[in-house]
């Protein structure tokens, strides 16, 4: 089964939605929406599509391209860094 396409975003209530507004999930207890861990968990879940895409790209580059294409390696690294940044501190 395929997941809902990204990008996903997390709002201040720790709700995760797809780009077209489809509800994906809500993290934590709604009565505690200001909890830092709920917000961090929501960011991580919202970054899931980008994290998966970055891992798939890295696998392809490492398996197919080898060490012959530095530009492809750098583009993949940039994609991975962006996905990690979103997971660790993207705005809600």
What are the pLDDT tens digits along the chain (92 aa)? Answer: 578 888 998 887 888 999 999 999 888 766 655 566 778 888 889 888 988 888 888 878 777 766 677 787 788 888 888 888 888 875 44
Residue 3 maps to a domain: no
43 occurs within a structural domain = yes
SS3 23: strand
Range of the domain at 84: 8-89
What's the domain count of the chain? 1
Residue 39 counted as domain residue: yes
- Is 16 contained in some domain? yes
- Which strand (E) or helix (H) includes residue 16? strand 15-18
- Domain membership of residue 2 (yes or no) is no
Measured CA to CA, the distance from residue 39 to residue 60 in angstroms comes to 32
15, β-bridge pairs = 26
pTM given for the model: 0.65
Strand partners, 9: 17
């Amino acid at each position: 089964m395929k997941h809902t396409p990204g990008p996903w975003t997390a709002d201040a209530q720790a709700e995760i939605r797809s780009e077209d507004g489809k509800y994906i999930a809500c993290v934590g207890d709604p009565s505690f929406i200001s909890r830092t861990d709920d917000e961090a968990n929501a960011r991580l879940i919202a970054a899931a599509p980008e994290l998966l895409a970055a891992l798939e790209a890295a696998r392809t580059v490492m398996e197919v391209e080898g060490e012959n294409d530095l530009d492809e390696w750098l583009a993949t690294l940039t994609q991975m860094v962006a996905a990690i940044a979103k997971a660790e501190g993207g705005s809600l």
